Amino acid sequence: MTTIKPQPGIMQITPYVAGKSAAKGANKPTKLSSNENPLGPSPAARDSYIEVAKHLETYPPSDHADLRQVIANIHGLDPARIICGAGSDEVITFLCQTYAGPGDEVLYTEHGFSMYRISALAAGATPVVAPETDRTADVDAMLAACSPRTRLVFLANPNNPTGTMIPESEVARLAAGIPDTALLVLDGAYAEFVDGFDGHAGLVETRDNVVMTRTFSKIYGLGGARIGWGYGPASIIDALNRVRGPFNVSAAALAAAKAAVQDVAYTDHCRAENAKWRQWLRERLAISGVPSDESHANFILARFETAEQAEACDAFLQSKGLIVRNVAGYGLGTCLRITIGDEIACRNVAGAVDAFMKGARA
Ligand SMILES: *Cc1c(COP(=O)(O)O)cnc(C)c1O
């Protein structure tokens, strides 16, 4: 009889729950639960992906040199200090595997992305949660939660699922204040939705303790391809590359990402559409009695009066074929996260929430 057991920490992991994609009775539901781009990827990215299908026998390059060069050109970065992963999730996993183990602490904020906890536990490290203030990261609380055991401090800016953002000056204060034994990881999954924002790449350039992660899953519409990247000091990228599998990113994903990052006009178009409908939806929900914080991402965190009301609205939306994200697992049981869809999706969701609220009050 085997007595083998998972490594410490593994059984403490609550498996990640993805946004639902089916609704009872709706045969073509509208999925607004995973922050996907309703416009899809750039047509050039799709074409590049399909082209690779003609040569599936060929291994992808292991150094990702082409894609790193293109990312560097577009964002004004040093290609040698970029690492590509199967989604930015994989870069987060590399960071935890490389820098945190048993006895070490991994810090993130109260409503932070659930992969930070999962990756920390998978590495055998101890997750530590810093409280937020009004659903917004609080740098003083994060600094207070640091200890000599802190190795990684994760901050998504803008954050998912709250959509809130803290200013660069606050992020710089955090980078300067964490212990010398720790690294600040700035998760820029939604950076492209903020006009003119570099995802704190500038901070990476001026400090030796900051890493930035980015993804092709959100504004670039390539969630299904699984590709993301990280940017950091040379010594850190070198360490991460040692744990990275040589063929961790598929040839098709590399090709699609390369085309996507170069189609700047399409990205600009997606950013503008998202900003327009985000503002529209936020105002409409507020008129219906459902407030939300100003969001800097491609979703809105709609706040209800009670968890029961949020759950009832979720069920009502599902009955209309509209799938949004229950965020009770993020300590936000009174809220629903709604991805900004296309115009029709936004109009449908606004109409359905309004009908629900009128019914709820009747
Ligand atoms: C979606 C998301 C990611 C990126 O996930 P991928 O693995 O790149 O698809 C990372 N961080 C946050 C906060 C996210 O919301």
Chain Cα centroid distance, residue 147 = 26
Q: Is residue 1 part of a domain?
A: no
Q: Report the separation in Å between the CA atom of 51 and the middle of ligand 1, taken as the mean of its atom positions.
A: 26
DSSP characters over 172-203: HHHHHHS-TT-EEEEE-TTGGGSTT--TTHHH
Structure tokens of 265? 């006009």
CATH number at residue 117: 3.40.640.10
Asked if 340 contacts 346 with a C-beta cutoff of 8 angstroms, the reply is yes
CB of 93 sitting under 6 A from ligand 1 = no
Structure tokens of 15? 């498996």
CB of 113 sitting under 6 A from ligand 1 = yes
Report the domain count for the chain. Answer: 2
3-state secondary structure 43-73: HHHHHHHHHHHHHCCCCCCCCCHHHHHHHHH
Residues 96 and 211 in one domain: yes
Nearest CA to ligand 1 atom 11: 189
Q: Is residue 53 part of a domain?
A: yes
User: Which atom of ligand 1 is found nearest the CA of 90?
Assistant: 7
Residues 84 and 36 in one domain: no
Residues 174 and 63 in one domain: yes
Q: Is residue 103 part of a domain?
A: yes
CB of 89 sitting under 6 A from ligand 1 = yes
Q: Is residue 8 part of a domain?
A: no
Residues 97 and 240 in one domain: yes
Cis amide linkage into residue 6, ω under 30° from 0: no
Among residues 207, 238, 262, which one ends one of the domains?
262
pLDDT of residue 362: 55
List per-residue pLDDT tens for the chain, 362 residues long.
Answer: 999 999 989 999 988 878 778 777 667 899 999 999 999 999 999 999 999 999 999 999 999 999 999 999 999 999 999 999 999 999 999 999 999 999 999 999 999 999 999 999 999 999 999 999 999 999 999 999 999 999 999 999 999 999 999 999 999 999 999 999 999 999 999 999 999 999 999 999 999 999 999 999 999 999 999 999 999 999 999 999 999 999 999 999 999 999 999 999 999 999 999 999 999 999 999 999 999 999 999 999 999 999 999 999 999 999 999 999 999 999 999 999 999 999 999 999 999 999 999 996 65
Domain ranges, residue 190: 43-262
Of 78, 123, 80, 86, the closest CA to residue 101 belongs to: 123
Report the alpha-carbon distance of residue 47 to residue 279 in Å, rounded: 32
Q: Is residue 172 part of a domain?
A: yes
Asked if 160 contacts 299 with a C-beta cutoff of 8 angstroms, the reply is yes
pLDDT of residue 236: 98
Report the alpha-carbon distance of residue 147 to residue 277 in Å, rounded: 42
β-partners of residue 184 are 153, 210
Among residues 241, 262, 283, which one ends one of the domains?
262
**End-to-end CA, the chain:** 62
pTM of the model: 0.96
Asked if 165 contacts 158 with a C-beta cutoff of 8 angstroms, the reply is yes
pLDDT digits (tens, 9 = 90+) for 177-216: 999 999 999 999 999 999 999 999 999 999 999 999 999 9
Q: Is residue 10 part of a domain?
A: no
The length of the chain in residues reads: 362
Residues 223 and 280 in one domain: no
Residues 170 and 281 in one domain: no
pLDDT of residue 113: 94
Residues 290 and 336 in one domain: yes
Nearest CA to ligand 1 atom 3: 189
pLDDT of residue 361: 60
pLDDT digits (tens, 9 = 90+) for 17-69: 787 787 776 678 999 999 999 999 999 999 999 999 999 999 999 999 999 99
Q: Is residue 11 part of a domain?
A: no
pLDDT of residue 99: 98
Q: Report the separation in Å between the CA atom of 316 and the middle of ligand 1, taken as the mean of its atom positions.
A: 28
CB of 156 sitting under 6 A from ligand 1 = yes
pLDDT of residue 23: 73
Beta strands 30-31 and 325-326, pairing class: unpaired
Residues 151 and 203 in one domain: yes
Residues 32 and 103 in one domain: no
Asked if 213 contacts 88 with a C-beta cutoff of 8 angstroms, the reply is yes
CATH number at residue 326: 3.90.1150.10
Residues 158 and 250 in one domain: yes
Q: Is residue 13 part of a domain?
A: no
Residues 62 and 23 in one domain: no
- Helices and strands in the chain, H and E counts: 12, 12
Residues 254 and 269 in one domain: no
Report the alpha-carbon distance of residue 83 to residue 67 in Å, rounded: 10
Beta strands 82-85 and 126-130, pairing class: unpaired
**Mean of pLDDT over the chain:** 96
Among residues 230, 247, 262, which one ends one of the domains?
262
Q: What is the largest CA-CA distance in the chain?
A: 63
Report the alpha-carbon distance of residue 345 to residue 30 in Å, rounded: 7
Q: Report the separation in Å between the CA atom of 148 and the middle of ligand 1, taken as the mean of its atom positions.
A: 28
